[in-house]
Structure 1
């Protein structure tokens, strides 16, 4: 039975006058403990990064960079055939943007979480994960890397000594191998069913896959996505269900410190 968990959500996923997702960042920020800030490549711009960093500081939420493929048109959900060196440089560029706006508002960068197709590519690409991990260690060995437990990224980061947080995905389906099923579009789900799924994962460490099998899942953070239809209702249901069962929501760094 888990009695403390991080709750993370992607933030600032608009661009200029355009917004993506139904819920305002301010409403979502009140529910979560770690924020993944779009850093300009799949969404986000200097003004939105500044705004979300300021919100994270005011709410006491852990600040994270959410770097992606350079794919504004496809929202970072399309594979781009680029070298690992080029992709890592893109990631570092985006991390720097979020970190500096965080410094402006007196909040340190807590974590890095790749977005969308880049997240999934790193999960299976050993070379990309290895170069990403080494770059993060060189940049700041105290950074936390968010990833799937069932991934090359997790295995390589752990072996290299980089702190990791494994994610449980509230609003995504799981395959029998323990990885999430990547989709470019996601349908609205029942918030209470999503909350039940999260509570079961915390209490039993299991999840039901898309084929109906029950598998074990290990994690330190629960993720729900701001662009999922009904995201605000999903987040509220998750938070209420966890707190009603005496499971405290806290930033990832605090969750890890508690586990040591």
Structure 2
């Protein structure tokens, strides 16, 4: 998993060339710059749910992120990342889930969860 647009980063190009399935992720709770780069915040103040829904609806219709300057940036993504550490994380998940369901999408894992091994007692 790598922030979309993943194809512009050297590490993802190398991984793909070696046969690694690189999954580009989109973040509806973070703002984007005009070139498609996510803008990280120093503190998670929580997502603006109306803005999140607007970004989600636009992406589902056009495969574009909306930048802080209202520029539309084409982004290919196969995964959505939700930050669970914000004060309204549950509402964020409900907003994104309802938006996806309302457009006919369903949630699914891209890969099975890894099996964890028990460590021997020390």
Q: Same-fold call, TM > 0.5?
A: yes
Question: Which is richer in strand?
Answer: 1
Distance in 2 between residues matched to 1:153 and 1:184, nearest whole Å: 25
User: How far 1:252 sits from its partner (Å)?
Assistant: 1.6
Count of aligned residue pairs for this structure pair: 109
What are the Cα deviations for residues 214-260 of structure 1, in whole angstroms up to 9, with x where unaligned? 11111000111011221110100100111011011111238xxxxxx
TM-score (norm 1): 0.39
- Write out aligned runs for 1:1-260 (5 A): 146-148=1-3, 149=6, 150-253=8-111
Q: CA RMSD in A?
A: 1.7
1:147–1:153 contact (8 Å) kept in structure 2: no
2: CA distance, partners of 1:247 / 1:159: 30
**Aligned counterpart, 2:117:** none
1: distance between equivalents of 2:96 and 2:34? Answer: 24
> For the residues of structure 2 that align with 1:152 and 1:174, how far apart are their CA atoms?
20
Structure 2 partner of 1:114: none
SS of the equivalent of 1:215 reads strand
The whole-number CA distance in structure 1 between the counterparts of 2:10 and 2:90 is 31
CA shift digits 1:158-194 (9 cap, x unpaired): 1221111100011111112212112221322332321
**Displacement of 1:207:** 1.2
8 Å CA contact 1:198–1:222 kept in 2: the answer is no
- Structure 1 portions without partners, runs of 5+: 1-145, 255-260
Residue 176 of structure 1 contacts residue 215 of structure 1 at CA under 8 Å; is this kept in 2?
yes
Query: If each structure's helix is expressed as a fraction of its own residues, which one has the higher value?
Result: 1
Task: Write the deviation string for residues 62-85 of structure 1: whole angstroms up to 9, x where unpaired.
Answer: xxxxxxxxxxxxxxxxxxxxxxxx
